[in-house]
Amino acid sequence: MNKIRLDFAAASRFVDAKRVKQLYEKLPGLKLEPELLRQVVQPDERTYLQIMASAQAIQQESEALLVLGVGGSQGGAKAFIEALNPKAMPVYFAGHSFSGHYLKALLEKLEHKDVSVIVISKSGNTAETLLSFGVVRSWMQDKYDVEAPRRIYAVTGKKNNGGALGNIAAGEKYNRFYIPEGVGGRYSLFTAVGLLPMAAAGINIDEILAGAQEGLKEYGITISEESPVTSYALWRTALYHAGYANELWVTYEPCLNGFGNWWRQLYVESESKEGHGIYPVVAEYTNDLHFLGQYMREGPRNIFESILWLEEAPTRLPTHPDTATMIGWGDVSNMAAVIKKVMEQTASAHNEAGVPQLKLFLPKLSAFYLAKLAVYFATACLISSGLQGIDPLNQPGVEEYKQQVRQILK
């Protein structure tokens, strides 16, 4: 099948079906935000052409791309780039911490490469990003002199001219992109925030936009018991009300870890307010099973698993003839069969130990389907936030943290 599917059978015995039905009956009365997603998955033609032209320029003049941003300003692009492994150029990320050790080591790695820089901050005043950009800006000036500004691309909001970053961009005449008002960082994947780095890295953003638009058409804010988006929102909310306050987002594909990190920020910033919120954890199986396996079998029963399963996988890779004998298995050249069997047995063992599970099936690893998956999670997030009576678009706790950092730096 070529649709994203949800299987909630392994959660059904842990939740009273009447509770799920009651939540479903609340949906028609909720104030949801479908216009937010429509706004961000349909960039205007001028912005689209500017993104394509800038990506081409970056590829032609640079050997590496440095993206500066924190949280949602880099999480979406990083997730797609790690998952799809595009070949146009390597992409490095900074501006997400105050670590001088990290930034120094990164700039040393890039010293003998031609570099372009994308710096992203909607407010234009994000402390981690601006401090890192101050270092990188000086480094670029030393490296390229008067040619430095044309290698720097700034992505900001329009409010207050994009803050300090916007003022610098205007004064230095950087290439500049704007983030639509009302779109928080975690929902900005399909704006220049995500599309510019992805296009420069070599990802086909036409496929991304096509997948996002199909996802919006297929899911939208659909109030239907048959909708996998509605089901995910209903079941995770019902599990939360039943005492399962921790959600373990599981992937068996290391390349999808970054996508899990994007999911984590999306849900925490949207839902965790006013004493509500599921605590999200991202796990890569089977690596993390070498410690989490203990917790899942014998730890507190306050956690449920949301397993993202990639249905398309390489089936055979060459192995040494002695491999099967060495580890005591049968045909281990069929990697897809091995990992599927491990997933099924692990899920069964955890479920029997009292862990509810939601299983989400992703047909293929492609720009199209990852974009569709991002719309899936964003739509479900709007619904589940509505079920809790929470505004999914603000993040007062994060804004308070940012203000505290500004005061500290003063």
Cα–Cα nearest to 203, from 183, 188, 189 = 189
Catalytic (active site) residue 402: yes
What is the strand order of the sheet 115-121 is part of? Answer: 91-94, 64-68, 115-121, 152-156, 175-178
Cα–Cα nearest to 285, from 338, 333, 363 = 338
Ramachandran class of 190: left when φ > 0, alpha when ψ lies in -120 to 50, beta otherwise: alpha
Catalytic (active site) residue 350: no
Q: Report d(CA 270, CA 237) in Å as an integer.
A: 14
Cα–Cα nearest to 347, from 237, 281, 260, 248 = 248
The answer to whether the CB of 118 falls within 8 A of the CB of 95 is no
296 to each of 223, 265, 293, 361, how far by Cα in Å?
Answer: 33, 23, 5, 21
Say which of 87, 101, 290, 410 is annotated catalytic: 290
What is the strand order of the sheet 5-7 is part of? Answer: 5-7, 357-362, 303-310, 246-251, 279-284
Task: List beta partners, residue 152.
Answer: 117
70 by Cβ neighbours in 10 Å (0-12 / 13-18 / 19+) ranks as buried
For 338-360, letters b (16+ CB in 10 Å) and e give: ebeeebeebbeebbeeebbbbbb
| Crossing angle (nearest 10°) for helices 17-26 and 228-241 | 120
In order, the DSSP letters of 334-362 are BHHHHHHHHHHHHHHHHHHTT--EEEEEE
Catalytic (active site) residue 290: yes
Say which of 33, 128, 247, 269 is annotated catalytic: 269
Residue 398 tokens read as: 């994060």
Q: Report d(CA 21, CA 13) in Å as an integer.
A: 15
The answer to whether the CB of 178 falls within 8 A of the CB of 157 is yes
Residue 288 tokens read as: 């993390």
Q: Report d(CA 258, CA 83) in Å as an integer.
A: 7
The H or E element spanning position 383 is: helix 367-387
- Residues with catalytic roles: 269, 290, 402
